[in-house]
Amino acid sequence: MGAAEALKSPARHPLFDRVLQAGTPEALRLSAAKGALPIPAHDLVPLQVRLLEDPAASVALAARDSLEALPIEGLAALVRDAACDPMLIDYLALSGRLLGEDLAQAIAHPRISDLALEAIASTGEEGALGLLITNEMRLIGHTRLLPLLRANPKLSGEQRRRLAELEREVISRQPQAKVPLAAVPAPAAVPETQAPLEPGQSLDLPPEAASVPADGEAPPEGAAEADQEYQDYYDDEEVLQKTDAFQKIQRLNVAERNILAMKGNSEERAILVRDTARVVSQAVLKNPRLSETEIVRFAGLRSVTEDILRTIAGNREWTKTYSVALALVRNPKTPAGLSVQFLARLGTRDLKICAGDKNVPELVRRQARNLFLVRTQPPKKTFKKAH
């Protein structure tokens, strides 16, 4: 049997897709989560992994209990299967139950996702980090793991030395593939750090500051998309804690929340973007289903971490939208050194509002006022002396 055949997924049991279909009764989903349906184990266990994301808290909790009850021997057999379901491999690698050779096989499994490896690199223990560093082929193919490993405080001195040696001797010598520009995704990366302006320091306006919306003119399309009712709803912790999604998330560990952040719905993203675990909140911003409207709302949330606001501010594709720039400036949690970068983009009316908004930092108010005056004060007239 060839490698391609070994990795080909076998046909699923008919009930597998039936349980996951939209509109399936909760009772049937609950039976699957509890393992009460006549489904073979090689299909039932991957199904229960998917039911961890079920909108019904009772189903998600039953699936979690069933998975946690799996014997270690059964887990070991699953990771040795080259055709193991990718989501199941991710779950097992992040579950914290695998040790030694079993964990090594999961981390080296060809079907483990880059997302799971990123979670291990960011939050894994020393033993798991060592196994990841020895997986040289995966590190070469996914260099995003390197800074995540270096930032993990649990990485030992010896592991740091080995990682540096690997980068110097192997990875740096790999030929860089030429990728067409159209295929390169917009970076959702950590922005370059910019020092805040000191009091009294002038703001150098970019050339495009001259082409701003005139006073009384509507801002660029999209500026009115920020839904204040939605914003207030998701800023209310008491309201959030009463939702089924919040109750479900409360039962998940960091690894499970990380996976949900990448695959969850908009309500779950709105909760997880404020998760105290950085790897989880940042994963929300990598969710492929994330919409522009959500970015606007996240940029205006006062309950997210400064790290989230820095990531949004550092993404040029997102900040091209007027509403995102405005939301960042109006958010008192946005570092002042980042907010002032967007002031020149604002319409005169919004500048006036920012200049009088006592919730934003004083530096931002002062710069907004100065820029407002520059735009609105008439030019000084000059008189020639009479001869």
Calculate mean pLDDT across residues 172-176.
51
Residue partners of 185: CB distance under 8 A and separation at least 6: none
**Spatial separation of the C-alpha atoms in residues 342 and 320, rounded to whole Å:** 10
H/E/C letters for each residue in 183-213? HCCCCCCCCCCCCCCCCCCCCCCCHHHHCCC
pLDDT band at 318 (very low <50, low <70, confident <90, very high): very high
**Spatial separation of the C-alpha atoms in residues 84 and 96, rounded to whole Å:** 18
pLDDT (tens digit per residue) in 250-293 = 888 888 888 889 888 888 888 899 888 888 899 999 888 888 88
Backbone CA torsion sign across 299, 302, 305, 310: positive
**Spatial separation of the C-alpha atoms in residues 7 and 179, rounded to whole Å:** 27
Tell me, what's the pLDDT at 173?
52
**Spatial separation of the C-alpha atoms in residues 98 and 83, rounded to whole Å:** 19
DSSP 233-268: HHH-HHHHTTSHHHHHHHT--HHHHHHHHHH--HHH
Tell me how crowded residue 175 is: count the other CB atoms within 10 A of its CB. Answer: 5
At position 211, the amino acid (one-letter code) is S
pLDDT (tens digit per residue) in 7-41 = 445 578 888 888 888 888 999 999 999 998 888 88
**Spatial separation of the C-alpha atoms in residues 126 and 143, rounded to whole Å:** 19
pLDDT band at 384 (very low <50, low <70, confident <90, very high): low
23: alpha, beta or left? (left if phi > 0; alpha if psi -120 to 50): left
**Spatial separation of the C-alpha atoms in residues 362 and 157, rounded to whole Å:** 43
Domain segments of the chain as ranges: 12-171, 212-376
pLDDT (tens digit per residue) in 94-147 = 878 888 888 888 888 888 888 888 888 888 888 888 888 877 777 777 777 888
**Spatial separation of the C-alpha atoms in residues 139 and 162, rounded to whole Å:** 13
| Token pair of 370 as six digits | 């100065």
At position 188, the amino acid (one-letter code) is A
Calculate mean pLDDT across residues 333-358.
88
**Spatial separation of the C-alpha atoms in residues 109 and 189, rounded to whole Å:** 27
**Spatial separation of the C-alpha atoms in residues 165 and 173, rounded to whole Å:** 12
At position 63, the amino acid (one-letter code) is A
Calculate mean pLDDT across residues 134-162.
80
Q: Is the pLDDT of residue 3 over 80?
A: no
| Token pair of 91 as six digits | 């779950």
Q: Is the pLDDT of residue 209 over 70?
A: no
Backbone CA torsion sign across 338, 344, 350, 351: positive
